[in-house]
């Protein structure tokens, strides 16, 4: 029999906010209705990067798609083609989700054959004016636009990476400075940042190549640049990425990012983790694992760890159903996966708003977060290990009365509420004080590999 682990939760002593960690990159491209499952999961942010596939689907989000003739006049509404991006953002907004707009281009994985849009703009000031036109359109209604109140505007993505940027480090820094200063001058209430770093793998993985080591130098050089008096630029948020099979590694990288920001005096800069996923070591099964119980347990574990980390917001990559990295949907059926229900579970905690203190000792690879709004309460309990764990909960405050379990045979299924749980391997258990909809019956694991683009 497994050892019994007792956990104590006090719902009467809230101690901080539950963070909006269940954001995503992209969504099912839906032009006449909100993306499936977004409203139910309360997705807080949808980052617009690699939208609609290669080259931004030729119609969406990317600067060359929205402003197809760089020689045109950025002050003339006729120079822009907002049509399909408008339709997409309208439906994202209708789901209650805020777009997180990446100003730049989609990754060109086959850049060695020919690169199209990943070169530095030929005129940085003009590129910044184009970006200002896009902000004006979506936030101030310019050019028959909208009033979406988009807060976050990210300048480019992964400029350390050749499939994303064919310029020098110094050229990217200058593009960032020119654009960030231009946007904040006209739109002081928005938040600008970048640079969506490839990540800091060398911090926790000894023996990484010089290419991965260079990401650390990039980061320090960028912070030096935006903090120097002669090149100062606003940095409302710093964004970064990590793909891993160990959720603990996320917390270590988050601390590294925060330590470097603090060392540069950037204590008000948000720490935004906006590309991440479960990258298991089994290459042939990786795309399947992202969807099934092991992917769901990884995601739920990551949410609990990120809640305790310096991360302010997070966005999973990716919710495009035909993309290999999509863990939320089966394709082409559009059925929701076990991993989707990890997002659905975190929504219940985020909806309540306030984190609650927890005492006791959990087994290895098990994680817990609790939340309340003063009336209702919820607990997310995760077993990311390979053995069943026996856990008892003792609570003060609102009584828990409902339980939903996701594992290898159940997907957000109703299970009996018990004082002691036998939490199965790769099990994600949501306990609440009020009924929750969207429970599903027992299922058999699906083994569908997506067709489509890698990204």
Through-space distance between the first and last CA atoms of the chain, rounded to whole angstroms:
43
DSSP 8-state assignment for residue 119:
S
- What pLDDT score was predicted for residue 284? 81
pLDDT at 7: 97
Angle at 452 between CA 412 and CA 49, to 5 degrees: 80
Q: What integer pLDDT is reported at residue 350 of this predicted model?
A: 98
In this prediction, the residues of the chain whose per-residue pLDDT falls under 70 are 1, 438-455
Q: What is the pLDDT of residue 447?
A: 35
* Residue count (the chain): 455
- State residue 394's pLDDT score: 95
Per-residue pLDDT, 418: 87
What pLDDT, in 10s, does the model give residues 55-103? 999 999 999 999 999 999 999 999 999 999 999 999 999 999 999 999 9
Q: Cα separations (Å) of 343 from 172, 195, 340, 395?
A: 34, 26, 5, 24
Order the strands of the 427-432 sheet from edge to edge. 16-17, 354-355, 366-372, 377-383, 427-432, 402-406, 413-414
Please check whether residue 95 is in contact with residue 38, taking contact to mean a CB–CB distance below 8 angstroms.
yes
5, containing H or E segment: strand 4-10
Give start and end residues of each alpha helix (H) in 202-337. Answer: 210-227, 247-263, 286-289, 293-307
Residue with tokens 């000792």: 361
Contact criterion met (CB below 8 Å) for 291 and 330: yes
CA 194 to CA 286: how far, in whole Å?
28
* Cα of 144 vs its chain's centroid, Å: 30
Cα 52 to chain center, whole Å?
17
Q: What is the four-CA torsion angle of 331, 333, 334, 340, rounded to 10 degrees?
A: -80
Quote the strand ranges of 348-419, DSSP E.
354-355, 358-360, 366-372, 377-383, 389-396, 402-406, 413-414
pTM: 0.95
Provide the Cα torsion 172, 177, 180, 182; round to 10°: -120
* Structure tokens given for 173: 């820094």
At residue 90's C-alpha, the angle toward residues 350 and 128, to 5°, is 95
**The pLDDT of residue 338:** 98
pLDDT tens digits along 223-248: 999 999 999 999 999 999 999 999 99
Q: Which residues pair with 101 in a beta bridge?
A: 48, 153
All domains of the chain in start order, with CATH: 4-13+354-432 (2.60.40.1180), 19-352 (3.20.20.80)
């Amino acid at each position: 029999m497994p050892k019994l682990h007792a956990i104590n939760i006090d719902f009467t002593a809230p101690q901080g906010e539950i963070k909006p960690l269940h954001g995503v990159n992209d969504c099912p491209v839906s032009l006449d209705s909100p993306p499936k499952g977004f409203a139910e999961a309360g997705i807080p942010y949808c980052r617009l990067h690699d939208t609609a596939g290669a080259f931004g689907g030729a119609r969406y989000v990317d600067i060359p798609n929205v402003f197809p003739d760089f020689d045109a006049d950025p002050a003339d509404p006729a120079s822009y083609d907002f049509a399909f991006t408008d339709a997409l953002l309208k439906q994202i907004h209708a789901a209650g989700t805020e777009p997180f707009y990446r100003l730049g281009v989609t990754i060109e994985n086959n850049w060695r054959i020919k690169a199209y849009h990943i070169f530095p703009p030929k005129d940085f000031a003009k590129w910044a004016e184009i970006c200002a036109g896009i902000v004006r359109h979506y936030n101030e209604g310019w050019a028959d636009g909208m009033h979406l109140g988009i807060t976050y505007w990210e300048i480019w993505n992964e400029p350390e990476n050749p499939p994303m940027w064919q310029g020098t480090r110094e050229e990217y820094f200058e593009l960032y400075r020119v654009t960030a200063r231009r946007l904040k001058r006209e739109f002081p209430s928005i938040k600008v940042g970048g640079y969506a770093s490839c990540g800091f793998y060398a911090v926790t993985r000894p023996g990484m190549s010089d290419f991965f080591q260079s990401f650390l130098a990039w980061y320090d050089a960028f912070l030096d640049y935006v903090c120097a008096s002669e090149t100062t630029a606003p940095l409302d948020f710093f964004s970064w990425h990590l793909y891993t099979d160990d959720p603990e590694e996320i917390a270590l990288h988050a601390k590294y990012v925060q330590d470097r920001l603090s060392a540069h005096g950037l204590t008000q800069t948000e720490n935004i983790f906006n590309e991440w996923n479960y990258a298991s070591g089994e290459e042939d099964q990786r795309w399947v694992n992202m969807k099934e119980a092991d992917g769901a347990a990884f995601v739920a574990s990551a949410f609990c760890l990120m809640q305790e980390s310096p991360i302010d917001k997070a966005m999973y990559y990716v919710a495009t159903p035909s993309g290999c990295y999509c863990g939320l949907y089966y394709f082409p059926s559009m059925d929701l996966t076990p991993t989707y229900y990890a997002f659905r579970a975190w929504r219940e905690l985020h909806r309540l708003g306030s984190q609650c203190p927890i005492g006791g000792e959990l087994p290895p690879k098990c994680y817990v977060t609790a939340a309340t709004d003063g009336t209702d309460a919820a607990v997310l309990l995760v077993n990311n290990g390979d053995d069943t764990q026996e856990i008892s909960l003792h609570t003060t405050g609102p009584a828990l009365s409902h339980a939903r379990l996701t594992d290898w045979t159940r997907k957000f299924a109703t299970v009996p509420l018990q004082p002691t749980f036998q939490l199965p391997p790769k099990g994600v258990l949501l306990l609440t004080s009020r009924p929750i909809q969207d429970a599903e019956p027992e299922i058999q694991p699906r083994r569908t590999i997506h067709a489509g683009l890698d990204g």
